Amino acid sequence: MIETLRLLSRRPVALIGLGGVIFFVLLAYVAPLVVSLQDAPDVTSVYLSPSLAHPLGTDYQGRDVLNQIVHGGADILTVAFLAAFISTAIAVTFGSLSATLGGRFDAATLGLTDIVLTIPQLIVLIVVAAIVHPSSFLVMAVILALLQWASLLRQVRAQVLSLKERDYVEAARSLDLGIFHIIFREMLPNMTSYIVIHFILAMTQAIYAQVGLIILGLVPLSGENWAIMLYFARDQGALYFRDSLWYILSPILAIVLFQLSLVSLASGLEDIFNPRLRAA
């Protein structure tokens, strides 16, 4: 862990990524505790340009944009984290079981994985969301996760297949330590780097899908979040007003910068964990 942080500190891109992720987590979860929500409409101050009172201007109802950005991160981050967690759990459990058990279980899992990888996921997601109307975080995260686990599962399976032949795994098997001990205690620690990177990338995918669904208006809207801001910006025609630039750009930049932070962190970690790339 300390070694990882030391290596990370030598890579500016990864460091910026880590800084960005920490910044957005603080912004989304800590800042709302300090700054209270101001969502009372004020028709006298619609689409104001940035000023000291409103650093990012105001929206179509005259509400402060910065205030909405502060209060609009938690939902997006929570759903992304949950979705990444569920999909990683599915991929790791079934990927390693599939590789260790082999046989028909393996064939069935691989077949299902191929199918999930082939279908156009966002379209399926759009149709499912339109029928199911996911109204809670958990339902939303589960739906996102169910379409996300496939590529990680394949990689976990391949990793386990190669780890299976190592001496220490043979030793554990000959001691009859049981399949769950072998998978979770012997093999998993060797795949941590892999899983962490995929977890981060799964979060970016979950954000992509989630924000897309909200912008299209397919998810029941409740509360404040960056994507809902964009939905209303489109719905209210703010896209075509010249004065509303910062109102639209703010949530876009928040999402894009958070995505960029996650991607840079992931690629920085990949450099560190993969010595072959490090040497190059």
Partner 1 sequence: MSVTPAEVRLAARLGPREVFGAFWTHPVLRAALKAILTIWVTTTLTFFLIRLMPGSPVDLKIDELMQTSNGALTYDDARAIASGLFSIDLNAPLHEQYLSFMGNVLHGNLGNSFLSAGTSVTSIILAVLPWTLFAVGTGLLLSFSVGIALGLLAAYRRNSFFDRLVTTGGSVVSSIPNYLLALMIVVILGSQLRLIPIAQMRGAFSPGMHPGFTLDFIGDIFYHASLPITIFFLTQLGNWILSMRSATLAALDEDYVVAARARGLTDGRITTAYVGRNAILPLVTQFAIATGFVLGGAVVIEQIFVYEGIGLRLLAAINQRDYPLVQGILLITTTAVVIANLAADLLYGRLDPRIGRAGGATG
Q: Count H helices, E strands: the chain?
A: 15, 0
Q: Does the footprint of partner 1 cover residue 117 (CB under 8 A)?
A: yes
List of long-range contacts for 4-7, beta carbons under 8 Å, 24+ apart: 4/269, 4/272, 7/272
Tokens 């990444």, located at residue: 84
Q: Does the footprint of partner 1 cover residue 118 (CB under 8 A)?
A: yes
Q: Does the footprint of partner 1 cover residue 208 (CB under 8 A)?
A: yes
Q: Give dist(CA 269, CA 259) in Å, integer.
A: 15
Q: Give dist(CA 168, CA 15) in Å, integer.
A: 35
Nearer to partner 1, 82 or 211 (CB): 211
x/- site string to partner 1, residues 40 to 79, per CB under 8 A?
----------------------------------------
Q: Does the footprint of partner 1 cover residue 263 (CB under 8 A)?
A: yes
Q: Does the footprint of partner 1 cover residue 171 (CB under 8 A)?
A: no
CA dihedral 203, 260, 195, 6 (to 10 degrees): -140
Q: Does the footprint of partner 1 cover residue 143 (CB under 8 A)?
A: no
Q: Does the footprint of partner 1 cover residue 274 (CB under 8 A)?
A: no
CB of 115 to partner 1, least distance (A): 5
State residue 64 phi and psi, 5-degree precision.
Answer: -70, 130
Question: CB under 8 A: which stretch of 18-26, 136-144, 169-177, 237-245 binds partner 1?
Answer: 237-245
Q: How many CB atoms lie within 10 A of CB 40?
A: 8
State residue 58 phi and psi, 5-degree precision.
Answer: -130, 165
Q: Does the footprint of partner 1 cover residue 218 (CB under 8 A)?
A: yes
CB of 154 to partner 1, least distance (A): 8
**Which neighbouring-strand residues pair with 58?**
64
Where on the chain is the footprint of partner 1 (CB under 8 A)?
Answer: 110-111, 114-115, 117-128, 130-132, 154, 204, 207-208, 211-212, 215-216, 218, 230, 234, 239-242, 245, 248-249, 252, 255-256, 259-260, 263, 267, 280
